[in-house]
Amino acid sequence: MFWILAAALTAITAFAILSPLRRGRTGAAPAAEYDLRVYRDQLAEVERDLDRGVIGPDDAQRLRTEIGRKVLDADRRAALSAPVARGGHLLWPAVVLAAMLAGAVALYLREGVPGAPDMPLADRIAAADAAYRNRPSQQQAEAAAPARPAPDLAQADPEYLTMIDQLRAAVERNPNDQQGLALLASNEMRLGNLNAARDAQQRLVDLRGDQADAVQLMQLATLMVDATGGVITPQAEAVLQRALTQDPTQPQARYLQGVLLIQNGRPDRAFPLWRGLLDEGPENAPWIAPIRAAIQDLAWLAGDDEYRAPAAPAADLPGPDADALSAARDLPPDERAQMVQGMVDRLQDRLATQGGTPQEWARLIAALVVLDQRDQATAILAEARQRFGSTPDALAPIEQAATDAGLDG
């Protein structure tokens, strides 16, 4: 069925490309030939008018000269269009098009999977379950992970490094000291010694046994995932499940559970998890930014193509907020410009390079007006309207900012 549809679409596309050229060969005569007929009729009409005495010899000669120039021009155009009329210009476009189609087919045969059958939903779920069951172990995943560069301690405080050495020695002398293990895991992680941090956290969790709390378990699972380069192994998943048993609302464990589902081809189950985390916030939580970056695509993969992620709360957006702008209005012009310009420049650079939410565009417009840069604010407003014009809800805060700034219209 795929090949039938592909062949039909290819044939339709080829016909659409070649048909304008083909009309020059099979259709009516070129326009220049019609012009020649008209000019010859005009010459005959001049002679008839001269015979009837309607025009004089001088006028007749002038008209003959003028029409003669038009005849020569039309004859030249007819000669230039003759190859098209013979179909000469149709051959090479057809050859180029055929070569492009052959190249596309060859590329697909090389890079694609021509014999792959269609995979029904049940088979896709079965394949995802098989991938889930066949995941590598923690040891295998760590062995296959890219080598992690050694942490750069050149800028670290020597006294702090000495304290860490003392902490390591103390834990080695008393390996059952839970507080010492917790401090060691935290500080090794701060230094970038993730393997050492994972070992210390693992020993802490083993010592606490069933008394390990959800945060300690989540921290161990996170370090295990870091050690594998992001792969959530069965061992890391078991730790996550223990954390969620202790506290089903633990957000970082739920985030990692969503990552696990995505890795194993179940966006339909990951989407509601991440959607709930995004709705709960807070906006400055470390898991919110990666969720925002992926939630729209994840929703589409899960079959919800109508989902729209909620806008980031205005209070948490970078850039000059309403209080800063209000304070700036009460300052002298020089101090006001100095206070706001730095924030505006940073926000404008980030929107230009990385994009942003409608609320951020609205803030930028308002800030530029405060700085008396109305031309720039108008240009930013036009760009924002073009970017968000297809989504009225997203465009609403931008239009409100334009109205408040006197840029409406």
Which residues, other chains included, contact 167 with Cβ-Cβ below 8 Å and sequence gap of 6+?
Answer: 180, 183, 184, 187
| Whole-angstrom distance, CA of residue 269 vs CA of residue 258 | 8
Tokens 């087919």 belong to 105
Q: What is the pLDDT of residues 224-267, one digit of tens each?
A: 988 888 889 999 999 999 999 999 999 989 999 999 999 888 88
Which residues, other chains included, contact 389 with Cβ-Cβ below 8 Å and sequence gap of 6+?
Answer: 395
| Whole-angstrom distance, CA of residue 339 vs CA of residue 328 | 7
**Predicted pLDDT of residue 104:** 80
Length of the chain: 409
| Whole-angstrom distance, CA of residue 214 vs CA of residue 243 | 4
Mean pLDDT within 350-379: 77
pLDDT at residue 61 greater than cutoff 50: yes
Q: Tokens for 206?
A: 């083993």
Q: Tokens for 5?
A: 């549809």
Q: Tokens for 291?
A: 């969720």
**Predicted pLDDT of residue 338:** 65
| Whole-angstrom distance, CA of residue 123 vs CA of residue 137 | 25
CB 241 within 8 A of CB 206: no
Quick check: helix, strand or coil at residue 208? helix
Q: What are the residue ranges spanned by the domains of the chain? A: 2-111, 315-404
| Whole-angstrom distance, CA of residue 147 vs CA of residue 192 | 14
| Whole-angstrom distance, CA of residue 259 vs CA of residue 271 | 10
Mean pLDDT within 73-85: 64
Q: What is the pLDDT of residues 80-122, one digit of tens each?
A: 665 544 445 567 777 777 888 888 878 877 777 666 666 666 7
Q: What is the pLDDT of residues 152-189, one digit of tens each?
A: 777 778 888 899 899 999 999 999 999 999 999 888 88
Q: Which residues of 287-314 are buried (b: 16+ CB within 10 A; e: fewer)?
A: bbeebbebbeebbebbebeeeebeebee
User: CA torsion angle for 37, 40, 45, 51 (degrees, to 10)?
Assistant: -150
**Predicted pLDDT of residue 108:** 76
Cα angle for residues 38, 43, 46 (degrees, 5° grid): 125
pLDDT at residue 26 greater than cutoff 90: no
Q: Tokens for 210?
A: 């069933």
Mean of the per-residue pLDDT values of the chain: 79
| Whole-angstrom distance, CA of residue 194 vs CA of residue 227 | 7
**Predicted pLDDT of residue 86:** 47
320 vs 54, higher pLDDT? 54
- pTM attached to this predicted model: 0.52
**Predicted pLDDT of residue 371:** 72
pLDDT at residue 275 greater than cutoff 60: yes
Q: What DSSP designation does 28 have?
A: S
Q: What is the pLDDT of residues 306-320, one digit of tens each?
A: 888 887 665 444 455
| Whole-angstrom distance, CA of residue 337 vs CA of residue 355 | 24
CB 394 within 8 A of CB 356: no
Tokens 């295990």 belong to 224
> Residue 227: which of 142, 146, 144, 136 has the closest Cα?
142
Q: Return the percentage of the chain with pLDDT > 90, whole number.
A: 17
Least confident of 9-13, 173-177, 272-276: 9-13
pLDDT at residue 28 greater than cutoff 50: no
